[in-house]
Amino acid sequence: MSKQDYYELLGVSRDASDRDIKKAYRRLAMKYHPDRNPGDEEAENKFKEISEAYEVLSDAQKKAAYDQFGHAGVDGQGAGGFGGGGFEGNFSDIFGDVFGDIFGGGGGGRRRSGVQRGADLRYNLELTLEEAVRGCEKTLEIPTLVGCETCDGSGAKPGTSAKTCSTCGGMGQVRMQQGFFSVQQTCPTCRGEGKVISDPCGDCHGQGRVEKTKTLQVKIPAGVDTGDRIRLSGEGEAGTHGGPAGDLYVQVHVREHPIFQRDGKHLYCEVPISFVDAALGGELDVPTLDGRVKLKIPAETQTGKLFRLRGKGITPVRGGSVGDLMVKVAVETPVNLNSRQKELLREFAETTEEGNSTHSPKKHGFFDSVKKFFEDMT
């Protein structure tokens, strides 16, 4: 007899997400579970079928094989194991995983070793623009949990060892009856570890880890920017019971610079110039991260003019061409003038009044537009 399509059994489409598949299985499992249908052989068979379907579709590798080859791609890989040995075992492995978050149980019937990976840590590192652009080496002080050297991370006093929990027999879980459900819960005595430490280590108090400030030398690559993250494998918190350590993530933040603004690989700065240099032209000393360079200002330069200095920006941390430095000039109005300077400016203004449209084309064009605007209103 041919098997029914797994997607049809769960009532989901072939492009359903993992969450939708789990949700569909949860709903059907609640409906056909044998504890809710005692003596109903049809419901029991239906539950076996949907559990088999969920086992395949919830496993990425099995799902890919099933999508490509159908039932032939997953036969013999545990997907058809409900018909023979131990329905209860298969139910615990799959149904317990789905409903463990409701009843506090784990992966039904499977012993928990207590070995866990340590937590990842994050360190916020502030850099100057120069440090970020050129790269640097920083010393970090990281408060963390490290393996206890006294007990070698076991949590037990030297010369002793943890003993198998008498409540759960080392399984880490106990079976609890809740209404029509028979579910697994974390053992209250050993808290899921499977073992009990009767004589804990005096330094770590049975935790296997102690608090310590760790000193690390970290190389910051050239070109990093705010938001970049550097991963240091194994430099996070120590794992429990010999588990691997977590990772340390160094989060980069670049402080604001008094002269430059950064936009990716490009730099921007604003340089004030006198109205004489703007009118007659000249040369400016422009700052860059590598020192000063000469910038030629052409005559009749207007405020806001942007000049590009190629290759004076930043080399991206992930490679690519060097950015540019964009220099924006701002014409500065002179202040604190003495009487002679004011007199000279008035003389200059008198010489330019007659040819206003020639000497100040933007001003002339603007007021012509304003005049026309009011004329059109009338």
Annotated binding residues for Zn(2+), written as ranges, equal 148, 151, 165, 168, 187, 190, 201, 204
- The position carrying tokens 């304003």 is 370
Which positions make up the binding site? 148, 151, 165, 168, 187, 190, 201, 204
Cβ atoms of 129 and 254 closer than 8 Å: yes
The Cα 6–Cα 54 span in angstroms is 8
- The position carrying tokens 């928990």 is 112
Cβ atoms of 62 and 105 closer than 8 Å: no
Cβ atoms of 221 and 240 closer than 8 Å: no
**What backbone torsions phi and psi does residue 191 show, to the nearest 5 degrees?**
55, 40
Of 256, 264, 253, residue with least CA distance to 314: 264
Half-sphere exposure (Cβ direction) of 251: Cα atoms closer than 13 Å: 6
User: What 8-state DSSP symbol labels residue 240?
Assistant: B
Of 143, 158, 147, 144, residue with least CA distance to 202: 158
Cβ atoms of 18 and 54 closer than 8 Å: no
Start-to-end C-alpha separation, the chain: 91
Secondary structure (3-state) at 144: strand
